[in-house]
Structure 1
Amino acid sequence: MKQSLSYYITLLVIKLKGIKNSFSKDPINVKKIRKDDVYSQKSKFFRENTLSVFKVSDTLITEVGLNKNSPNLIIFIHGGAFISGPAKHHWDTVKAIAKQTNHKIWLCQYPKAPENKITKISANIDHVYTQAIENYAPDKISLIGDSVGGTLVTTLIQRLNSKNTTLPGKIILISPVMDATIFNSEIESIDPIDPMLSKKGVLSAKKMCAGTMDLKNVMMSPLYGCFNNFPRTVLFLAQNDITYPDQKIAAQKLIEAIRRWR
């Protein structure tokens, strides 16, 4: 498939910023990775369309929307290998969604590793969802998870199902990390061509987040959990992403779960 000019420009920017090099270290340099974090936006769009800023547990939420009375909510869980974020492109995504939909968006700045472990991070995501369903009809709620944000959204659904708790109407997973062990043999051939991530750095970040927990624990690796009874799920995957091989397995598990349900 022919790639667009913007695709090649994006690859050039990623290369010039040295993101791949940063994700090729063990231990990963958390301080360096966080240099690109953007904790708030002061542009005209966000000054005019930020509806509120509030905390749920230890998660800071920026609520954005063009229609303050919208009944529709998107909970946006950003990526960043559990150790960083949000970055500028996450804010840009929120802006684009707000401009193209009638939805309100909660950009969630959840606690990060290594200062916090996956148990606390996951508990924060649970609290955010609980707060959401107290104020919005569940079928009007969508969750978007980018990279490890996709991990957090997927494991949230698995926990909700295990407790028979009401599910959101839809989830959107963007290159979700499904297996924190990064053990899939297909990853070896993708590692050299992934423009951003490297197995070494990603695995280092995952270990920082897991602490003493086994990386195969479903809280870190939803691939080993249950995919029954998921809400409508949209997947956006990239073939040159080292997490792609595990995403294919997860997609197949979702398909098989749907077939069993029918």
Structure 2
Amino acid sequence: MPSLKSHFVSFVLRHSRKKAFSSPQNLRRWIAAARKTEDHHPPASLYQRFNIEAHMVDGFPVYEIAPRAGERKRILYLHGGAYVFEITPYHWHLIADMADRLGYAVTVPIYPIAPEHDFHAMFGMVGEVYRRMLDETEPDDIIFMGDSAGGNMAVVLTMMAAEKGLALPSRHVLISPGLDMSLANPEVFEAEGKDPWLGIAGGLEAIRMYSAGIDRTDWHISPLYGNLSVLPKTLLLTGSRDMLSPDNLIFAKKARAAGVEIDVIYEEGMFHVWPLIDMPESRRARQRMAAFLSSEKAADQGKSEAVSWSVKASSSDPFKTGLASM
């Protein structure tokens, strides 16, 4: 049963953030308002806990959280925000929690966002970040982690790297990823009404802003239609009140058919990117993410407890949500 905290957060989202996605006009107003207050810097408390350095790639900052002594593994974290909103403290606190639990280095690119920039600028920058990571870190020690739009970017970046013949990351952790922007799945329309966060009208406007005219069925925008066989072992987290869930479940099925080892956490009653928000369900999800990443043994033990998409998909209508400023 969903916690009281999750019900409260859903209520707040439905009466605040969902407005951003209710129309193209509202999304543009929220973007304009966000630009006045957004701050990509890590919260001051993180500097007290970690050694954090920053450098520039293509004119945009990249933050590096140093690893624990002797640890070689490294996470590339790609934040969500519908491609139009900046990283938030919610993202930073999740990143810090993963760094605490695992001791891995974490690379956080503050990539260019729309409407000021588009797909080409975004992937030009994060592609360069990844190439530099490969110069410093063995690909078997690299993990891609992303939420929402960042989950989309993690999958697309891996597919683009495969196309260019680059070494690929060892694992993916995808939190409520956006994997199909085509709206070909009619279940998404039904899910929208139950989603306390995202809406189709505003979402389509965000896609228009960042996609640089690329068709929404192209795998660069909707990686569900790309070559899934190149993807690494994956943990995908999605919830029954997330508008993106119907497409997430299709992605999991197609990925498995393509030979990808993929575990799915399908949390009943949960909304978009719930692991970013402090509540019982997010603490449970973070434990699962850490187990998946810490060792093969821990991941295998966690998998036996996972809720299989094939069991849950028939028992409830999956649907999507999205953090307007995440």
TM-score (ref. length: structure 1):
0.91
Deviations 1:73-111 (A, max 9, x none): 111000000001201210111111111111011122100
Partners in 2 of 1:60 and 1:182 — Cα distance?
A: 33
- Range 35-44 or range 163-172, more displaced: 35-44
Q: Which ranges of 4 or more aligned residues in structure 1 deviate by more than 4 Å?
A: 33-36
Partners in 2 of 1:35 and 1:10 — Cα distance?
A: 24
Counterpart of 1:234 in 2: which secondary structure?
strand
Counterpart of 1:122 in 2: which secondary structure?
helix
Query: Percent of aligned positions with the same letter in both sequences?
Result: 26
- The equivalences for 1:103-114 within 5 A come to 103-114=104-115
Counterpart of 1:194 in 2: which secondary structure?
coil
Deviation at 1:35?
5.9
- Range 57-66 or range 234-243, more displaced: 57-66
Q: Which amino acid aligns with 2:2?
A: Q
Contact kept in structure 1, 2:11 and 2:196, CA below 8 Å: no
Contact kept in structure 2, 1:114 and 1:208, CA below 8 Å: yes
Deviation at 1:68?
5.9
Q: Which amino acid aligns with 2:241?
A: N
User: Which residue does 1:78 correspond to in 2?
Assistant: 79
- Range 229-238 or range 65-74, more displaced: 65-74
Counterpart of 1:193 in 2: which secondary structure?
coil
Deviation at 1:136?
0.9
- The equivalences for 1:39-188 within 5 A come to 39-65=40-66, 67=68, 70-188=71-189
Contact kept in structure 2, 1:66 and 1:99, CA below 8 Å: no
Counterpart of 1:14 in 2: which secondary structure?
helix
RMSD: 2.0
Partners in 1 of 2:184 and 2:51 — Cα distance?
A: 41
Q: Which amino acid aligns with 1:107?
A: V
Counterpart of 1:195 in 2: which secondary structure?
coil
- The equivalences for 1:228-243 within 5 A come to 228-243=229-244
Partners in 2 of 1:250 and 1:54 — Cα distance?
A: 35
User: Which residue does 2:306 correspond to in 1?
Assistant: none
Deviation at 1:184?
1.9
Q: Does structure 1 residue 195 correspond to structure 2 residue 193?
A: no
Contact kept in structure 1, 2:20 and 2:202, CA below 8 Å: yes
How has the CA–CA distance of structure 1 residues 247 and 35 changed in structure 2, closer, same or farther, with 3 Å as cutoff? farther
- The equivalences for 1:183-262 within 5 A come to 183-258=184-259
Deviations 1:223-259 (A, max 9, x none): 1111013111111112221111111111111100117
Partners in 2 of 1:137 and 1:25 — Cα distance?
A: 44
Deviations 1:94-139 (A, max 9, x none): 1111111110111221000111111221121211110111111111
Contact kept in structure 2, 1:170 and 1:232, CA below 8 Å: yes
For structure 2, which runs of at least 5 residues remain unmatched after alignment? 261-326
Partners in 2 of 1:170 and 1:213 — Cα distance?
A: 27
How has the CA–CA distance of structure 1 residues 65 and 43 changed in structure 2, closer, same or farther, with 3 Å as cutoff? same
Deviation at 1:53?
0.6
Counterpart of 1:151 in 2: which secondary structure?
helix
Contact kept in structure 2, 1:175 and 1:237, CA below 8 Å: yes
Q: 1:25 aligns with which of 23, 39, 45?
A: 23
